[in-house]
Chain A
Amino acid sequence: AQSVAQPEDQVNVAEGNPLTVKCTYSVSGNPYLFWYVQYPNRGLQFLLKYITGDNLVKGSYGFEAEFNKSQTSFHLKKPSALVSDSALYFCAVRDKSNSGNTPLVFGKGTRLSVIA
């Protein structure tokens, strides 16, 4: 079975400071990992993914995430937060051995508030 844990319901950070949104996962095999962002009354917007290769992946809007196999983590980071980054962030996983028709498994989401 696959699962994703986002241990923080809410993360608050001052504008200009670095931000981290945590994610850990559990799969029986090897993972594909994804981060999405959701703004109010909108669908989810894809930010970045880890498939293979470099553990540090870079995505949209200056976000990056680091895959750590030993810690089964895929934390989302940004060096300098903007007020406009305030949104709901979801981490998701799919086991590489699953068929392409299986849906992603999502964490419960972390609300990021960037304070000016």
Chain B
Amino acid sequence: GAVVSQHPSWVICKSGTSVKIECRSLDFQATTMFWYRQFPKQSLMLMATSNEGSKATYEQGVEKDKFLINHASLTLSTLTVTSAHPEDSSFYICSARDGGTGGKNQPQHFGDGTRLSIL
């Protein structure tokens, strides 16, 4: 089945550091990937939709200069948290849908998430 790989799983770094998170579709091509943020014991918050070869679409209230998204190929999207601060600490999850088999009724597949802790 479709697999989404997310790396790294855990990041602990100092305030002011920029952190890059990678999301790869391993056995399918994903023209669109989604980035979510999840706070403890809460639901997923969609941050942005990443489109291959074009600019990402950010949800209202998400700072595009803070959360840089690059979707340079059909199998890779990256999220960079720039100049991270403690309030950026969270669980970030990427997701992609294999649109090549069956179209829009296919489920989204999720990476295992990245736990980001900013000290």
Do A and B interact with each other, yes or no? yes
Interface of chain B, main secondary structure: strand
Q: A100-B99, A101-B51, A108-B43 are in contact. Are A51 and B111 (CB under 8 A)?
A: no
| Cα distance A49–B103 in the bound complex, in angstroms | 14
Inter-chain contact A101/B32, CB cutoff 8 Å: yes
Inter-chain contact B104/A99, CB cutoff 8 Å: yes
Inter-chain contact A43/B93, CB cutoff 8 Å: yes
Complex contacts, A103 vs chain B, CB 8 Å:
34, 46, 49, 95, 108
Residue numbers of A with Cβ under 8 A of B are 32, 34, 36, 41-46, 49, 51, 90, 92, 94, 96, 98-101, 103-104, 106-109, 111
In the complex, 28 of the A-B residue pairs with CB atoms within 8 angstroms, ordered by the A residue number, are A32-B105, A34-B107, A41-B91, A41-B113, A41-B115, A42-B112, A42-B113, A43-B6, A43-B95, A43-B113, A44-B110, A46-B108, A90-B44, A94-B104, A96-B104, A98-B104, A99-B104, A100-B97, A100-B99, A101-B32, A103-B34, A103-B49, A103-B95, A103-B108, A104-B108, A108-B43, A109-B42, A109-B43
